[in-house]
A and B are shown apart, each in its own frame.
Chain A
Amino acid sequence: MKEFTYTITDPVGIHARPAGLLTKEVKKYASTFTLTKGDKSADMSKLMKLMSLGVVQGDTVTIKVEGPDEETAAAAVEQFMKDNF
């Protein structure tokens, strides 16, 4: 299992459009992604769940990656988040 934290800098946070991009991204990998904010977490391939966390600018979230390709997947998604959030 791989884990990393990220602090959102995008002013809109993880809202509809960016969230849509994120779900699309994680679906490319075989691993499962879980995003945790405070005591709530969501499967990152589920757009609704992800949005319902209400992640906004300045929030720090933890992302857990589990699966056969977790090494590459975690690195790629971390980079993706840096580029987009």
Chain B
Amino acid sequence: MALDYRKCAEELVPLLGGKENLISAAHCATRLRLVVADNSKIDQKAIENVEGVKGTFQSNGQFQIIIGTGTTFQSNGQFQIIIGTGTVNKVYDEFLAVTGLTAASKDDVKAAAAAKAPVWRRMLKTVGDVFVPILPAIVASGLMMGIVEALGHAIPGFSDSDWYGFLDLVSNTAFTFLPVIVAISAARVFGGNLFLGAVIGLMMVHPSLTNGWNAADGYDVWYLFGHGLKIGSYTFGQVNQLGYQGHVIPVIIAVYFMSKLEKWLHKHVPEIIDLFVTPLTTVFVTALLTFMIIGPIFSTAETYVLTGAKWLITAGYGIGAAAMGAIYPITVVMGLHHMYNVIEAGMLAEGGLNIWMPLASAANFAQFGACLAVGVKTKNAKRRSVAIPSALSASLGITEPAIFGVNLRLYKPFVFGMIGGAVGALFGSLSGLGATAYGVTGIPGLLTIDNIPVYLVLLAISGGIAFALTFFFWHEDPEDNDKYLEEKAANEEKALKEEAEHAPVIISSSAGKIYAPVSGKIVPYTEIPDATFAAGTLGEGVGIEPDTEIILAPYDGTISSVAETKHAIGITGENDQEVLIHVGIDTVQMNGDGFTPLVKEDDQVKKGQPILRFSKEKIAKAGHSDMVCVLLTNSDDYEDVKIGADAE
């Protein structure tokens, strides 16, 4: 039975809170993707009952409606992805007609949704983006550290052996210099110079500074501007000679600032002195701000956390312990956990048991549970390959890979880990567990704990709760699903092929035909919104308002030039035709950001072959038109040049 598209669209609009509630709409193969002003106005149940709607879900600030006729491919069992094709676009057209919205590309909708996502979600995503590329380094280190530390506790005398010393060096390198790795990755994410990023990272763990882990033993302070200006205990110009070992957030903040400053300077410093002025100023100013402002803030916060933690664990009936078990991973994220070993050492020095260790262990093991659940549940092979080793490392007490690489990024598993940690810590406190040493948690903790069976129960509770909650209540964004991604890639490839096959001739002459390198509305060069192009200074041709973000070769030929700023490509074809494809107007100012050439000079290309990817979003952000100018630069050499969509 054919679906009544108009009826479907008309029924949907009021259930979505009316026209006023809709910000933008787009569709993909199966889904109507909407950004709405107020999600609470959506009647999700009723929408799912509208004929033609197969399901709905919300993700990343978008409300998506899956539409399909549902008559075929039932055997697939899953979400009838393919069958929606040909249906959803018709419903979409009617939907636009009914609502009066204008068509938005998928990227526009994504951008609108991204802008709508709360700031803290965007910040978590950024931290994740910085952390994921460095995971191989820290997972390797984390696993090795866990094993080496366990061996040190398990085998008498091993911790004094040469082997231990050597293994310790190898395993903890990535963690000792973690700020350096984080800084380089952050520089890449924020578009700063990688080497300047490395300098900032290295500076933050410089051997002249007191190691961050030894902060409790005291450190020296420089007073750059004397003792004149005091705000409480903070003196203006005060630089704590304290390293940032184990820190993540201050490093990301510092490099974020550095990258912004560097880009600003590049823009404003005359090129002749740019090479020495910009890096020098960038490094100096970033260093000043980092050590004068970020450093004291975090040192002060750490002291408060220490005082707070000491107070919390003495609070009665295990309540304080539960709270500590919950917020422990947050202090790890903030890098405020350096002083905890002071608490542990203090307890042992007073002749008692280390009752801190069971709390930390519960918190850590819960992150393990949550991470493992992600690894088991995910349908994304790449995510699984990150989650499983990260979980292993976490079970040995090294939680950074699991927290930063997996749980925090997905946010819910992190919270479920906090819940598991709280319950585990409560149990640990009530059962009076304690350790006889400090330094290890998780499975290696078995070697230092005073009651192994009870400790195993603690691990089972914290890890189990976090695992179960994550397994049942964390739902992966279906777009991360392997099947979906593969399909998307296949669809894109198919679409490109089709686009290439159907590309119209836009310029023709006795020398040959030039096909449209991108689909979209075609205008003659005289209508390109730029005087030089419109005057034909660069030859005759057309402007295209691109629908997609990929440029295809307009004919068989040789790449004669790829602009250093990546936004323009020249191609020589048969009979010496010289075509220039210039993406966007004034986009030379973007300095290559947002453009990815897929070919290099002197490459042979075939008509329809992808040669350049570009980001419409970035061009729009930079405030330029994204019109693709296709110009036959030597059109003067031919007499019978025809241009336009019907040049053929």
Which size bracket describes the interface of A in this complex?
20 to 34
- Interface residue? A49 (CB, 8 A): yes
Smallest beta-carbon distance B563→chain A, Å: 7
- Interface residue? A12 (CB, 8 A): yes
Task: Decide if A15 touches B578 in the complex (CB within 8 Å).
Answer: no
Task: Decide if A15 touches B271 in the complex (CB within 8 Å).
Answer: no
Smallest beta-carbon distance A69→chain B, Å: 19
Q: Which residues of B contact A17 (CB under 8 A)?
A: 530, 532-533, 537-538
Q: Which residues of B contact A72 (CB under 8 A)?
A: none
Q: Which of B530, B539, B588, B633 contacts A15 (CB 8 A)?
A: B588
Task: Decide if B564 touches A58 in the complex (CB within 8 Å).
Answer: no
Docked Cα-Cα span, A33 to B634, in Å, equals 16
Q: Which residues of B contact A16 (CB under 8 A)?
A: 538, 563, 568, 580, 582, 588
B629, closest chain A residue (CB): A16
Q: Which of B561, B565, B636 contacts A52 (CB 8 A)?
A: B561
Q: Which residues of A contact B634 (CB under 8 A)?
A: 46-47
- Interface residue? B272 (CB, 8 A): yes
- Interface residue? B601 (CB, 8 A): yes
- Interface residue? A57 (CB, 8 A): yes
Q: Which residues of A contact B532 (CB under 8 A)?
A: 17, 20-21
Docked Cα-Cα span, A27 to B533, in Å, equals 18
Task: Decide if B561 touches A48 in the complex (CB within 8 Å).
Answer: yes
Q: Which residues of A contact B561 (CB under 8 A)?
A: 48, 51-52, 54
- Interface residue? B572 (CB, 8 A): yes
- Interface residue? A37 (CB, 8 A): no
- Interface residue? A61 (CB, 8 A): no
Task: Decide if B539 touches A47 in the complex (CB within 8 Å).
Answer: yes
Q: Which residues of A contact B272 (CB under 8 A)?
A: 58
Docked Cα-Cα span, A52 to B633, in Å, equals 14
- Interface residue? B560 (CB, 8 A): yes
B578, closest chain A residue (CB): A48
- Interface residue? B570 (CB, 8 A): yes
Q: Which of B564, B582, B633, B636 contacts A54 (CB 8 A)?
A: B564
Docked Cα-Cα span, A20 to B106, in Å, equals 36
- Interface residue? A38 (CB, 8 A): no
Q: Which residues between 17 and 75 of chain A lie within 8 Å of chain B, taking CB atoms?
A: 17, 19-21, 23-24, 27, 46-49, 51-52, 54, 56-58
Smallest beta-carbon distance A85→chain B, Å: 14
A47, closest chain B residue (CB): B633
Q: Which residues of A contact B588 (CB under 8 A)?
A: 12, 15-16
Docked Cα-Cα span, A54 to B592, in Å, equals 14
Task: Decide if B538 touches A47 in the complex (CB within 8 Å).
Answer: yes
Q: Which residues between 596 and 636 of chain B lie within 8 Å of chain A, taking CB atoms?
A: 601, 633-634, 636
Task: Decide if A48 touches B601 in the complex (CB within 8 Å).
Answer: no
Question: CB-defined interface of B333-374 with A at 8 Å, one 1/0 digit per residue?
Answer: 000000000000000000000000000000000000000000
Question: How many inter-chain contacts with C-beta < 8 Å in the A-B complex?
Answer: 61
Docked Cα-Cα span, A58 to B272, in Å, equals 7
Task: Decide if B578 touches A57 in the complex (CB within 8 Å).
Answer: no
Q: Which residues of B contact A12 (CB under 8 A)?
A: 588
Docked Cα-Cα span, A52 to B564, in Å, equals 9
Task: Decide if B582 touches A48 in the complex (CB within 8 Å).
Answer: no
Question: CB-defined interface of B523-542 with A at 8 Å, one 1/0 digit per residue?
Answer: 00000001011000111000
Q: Which residues of A contact B533 (CB under 8 A)?
A: 17
Task: Decide if B570 touches A52 in the complex (CB within 8 Å).
Answer: yes
Smallest beta-carbon distance A25→chain B, Å: 10
Task: Decide if B570 touches A48 in the complex (CB within 8 Å).
Answer: yes
Docked Cα-Cα span, A45 to B444, in Å, equals 75
Q: Which residues between 263 and 307 of chain B lie within 8 Å of chain A, taking CB atoms?
A: 271-272
Task: Decide if A52 touches B560 in the complex (CB within 8 Å).
Answer: yes
Give the one of A11, A17, A24 with max B CB within 10 A.
A17
Docked Cα-Cα span, A47 to B540, in Å, equals 13
Smallest beta-carbon distance A45→chain B, Å: 9
Q: Which residues of A contact B570 (CB under 8 A)?
A: 47-48, 51-52
Task: Decide if A57 touches B271 in the complex (CB within 8 Å).
Answer: yes
Docked Cα-Cα span, A58 to B455, in Å, equals 70
Smallest beta-carbon distance B639→chain A, Å: 16
B530, closest chain A residue (CB): A17
Task: Decide if B560 touches A56 in the complex (CB within 8 Å).
Answer: no
Known: A17-B537, A20-B538. A56 touches B564 (CB 8 A): yes
Task: Decide if B537 touches A51 in the complex (CB within 8 Å).
Answer: no
Q: Which of A21, A48, A54, A58 contacts B580 (CB 8 A)?
A: A48
Docked Cα-Cα span, A12 to B534, in Å, equals 20
Q: Which residues of A contact B271 (CB under 8 A)?
A: 11, 57-58
Task: Decide if B601 touches A47 in the complex (CB within 8 Å).
Answer: no
Docked Cα-Cα span, A23 to B532, in Å, equals 13
Docked Cα-Cα span, A13 to B560, in Å, equals 18
Docked Cα-Cα span, A12 to B564, in Å, equals 11
Q: Which residues between 572 and 587 of chain B lie within 8 Å of chain A, taking CB atoms?
A: 572, 578, 580, 582
* 18 residue pairs bridging A and B, Cβ less than 8 Å apart: A11-B271, A15-B588, A16-B563, A16-B568, A16-B582, A16-B588, A17-B530, A17-B533, A20-B532, A20-B537, A21-B532, A24-B537, A46-B578, A47-B539, A47-B570, A48-B561, A48-B572, A51-B580
Instruction: Apart from A56-B564, A57-B271, list 10 A-B contacts with CB within 8 A.
Output: A15-B563, A15-B565, A24-B537, A27-B636, A46-B634, A47-B538, A47-B570, A47-B633, A48-B580, A54-B561
